[in-house]
Amino acid sequence: MVSGKFLPLPYFLLDEELGILDYSRSASDIFLIGDNFITLVDEESRQKVSQYIQPDFSEIEIELNMKTKYDPLAVFGISVKWEGNKAHILCVEKTKEVDNLSGQLIKLRSRLSDTDFELLEKKEELEDAIERIHKLSGPFIPLYAEAGLVPLFGDLQADKLRVIEENILYRIDEGDYEQVFFDFHAVGEITDEGKKQLGQLFETIQLMGTKTMIVGLSPSQVRGFKSKGTVKAPSMASLKQAISEYIKKQNHK
């Protein structure tokens, strides 16, 4: 086994139970490392770890809130690749990226309030920063050659979904996917306009010849969708169950 101790980024080698088998020096510089990877993850992100860092997802990228020596809540982009029953994990800090975007928004709003001229001059810059933040809320993750996953995060409003939609439709068309799973486990409130926008997105995807599947809806979200009748797509409670059913169907083709 090749050691990852000298990699320039925080790196971990995990077993199937997420026990830490090896790690880079960069990882020990940033984290207080124990026996299990889950101890490095903030409580709010641990459900995401159990859902996505497993052999069912042979290669995946997610974002996690993690605890470091210097920051009790830091955002990291996590790249996971399974090799047999062991997972290789690279961590790239995104806290600075998010802080920079948030700082940019605060500065812009302060400057825009000064004069109407500045409002017109900086409008596009402000909208671009907002759009970049929205895009982080619905990444498209390839699972298999013909299946993809869109994990949604935060509250869903129509304007956020319009930004996410552009990337999703492009990736589906480019990759010729036949099935896309939409994971709602990390979704908060969905506005009425957001529900309409979701319905339009699913309808467009289905017209492209791609099937959609919703997973992880809370009881209140289920009731909300039923009352509005705007979203027409099959659903399952568990992402793992949905993917298992998909694999079974593929194997029987």
pLDDT at 131: 55
Stretch 174-181: mean pLDDT: 89
Residue range(s) in the chain whose domain bears CATH number 3.30.450.20: 11-93
Residue range(s) in the chain whose domain bears CATH number 3.30.750.24: 141-251
pLDDT at 96: 59
pLDDT digits (tens, 9 = 90+) for 197-217: 999 999 999 999 999 999 988
pLDDT at 129: 52
Assess whether pLDDT exceeds 90 at residue 72: no
pLDDT at 19: 96
User: Looking at per-residue confidence, does 31 or 221 come out higher?
Assistant: 31
Torsion, Cα of 15, 20, 25, 27 (10° steps): 100
Assess whether pLDDT exceeds 70 at residue 12: yes
User: Looking at per-residue confidence, does 178 or 130 come out higher?
Assistant: 178
Stretch 238-250: mean pLDDT: 83
pLDDT at 109: 60
Assess whether pLDDT exceeds 70 at residue 89: yes
Assess whether pLDDT exceeds 90 at residue 3: no
What whole-number distance in Å separates Cα of residue 216 and Cα of residue 184? 5
Percent of the chain exceeding pLDDT 90 equals 28
Stretch 27-36: mean pLDDT: 93
What whole-number distance in Å separates Cα of residue 244 and Cα of residue 247? 5
Stretch 163-171: mean pLDDT: 87
pLDDT at 180: 93
pLDDT at 98: 56
The winner for highest mean pLDDT among 21-25, 94-98, 142-146, 170-174 is 21-25
What whole-number distance in Å separates Cα of residue 118 and Cα of residue 121? 5
Stretch 170-189: mean pLDDT: 88
User: Looking at per-residue confidence, does 110 or 224 come out higher?
Assistant: 224
Which residues, other chains included, contact 239 with Cβ-Cβ below 8 Å and sequence gap of 6+? 51, 149, 181, 183, 185, 215, 216
Stretch 112-123: mean pLDDT: 56
pLDDT at 229: 61
Environment class of residue 21 by beta-carbon count within 10 Å: exposed (0-12), middle (13-18) or buried (19+)?
Answer: exposed
Each residue of 177-201: b (16+ CB within 10 Å) or e? bbbbbbbbbbbeebbeebbebbbbb
Please give the CATH superfamily to which domain 141-251 belongs: STAS domain (3.30.750.24)
What whole-number distance in Å separates Cα of residue 218 and Cα of residue 135? 23
Assess whether pLDDT exceeds 70 at residue 154: yes
Indicate whether this model's pTM tops 0.75.
no
CATH number of 11-93: 3.30.450.20
Torsion, Cα of 198, 204, 209, 212 (10° steps): 0
Assess whether pLDDT exceeds 90 at residue 23: yes
pLDDT at 134: 47
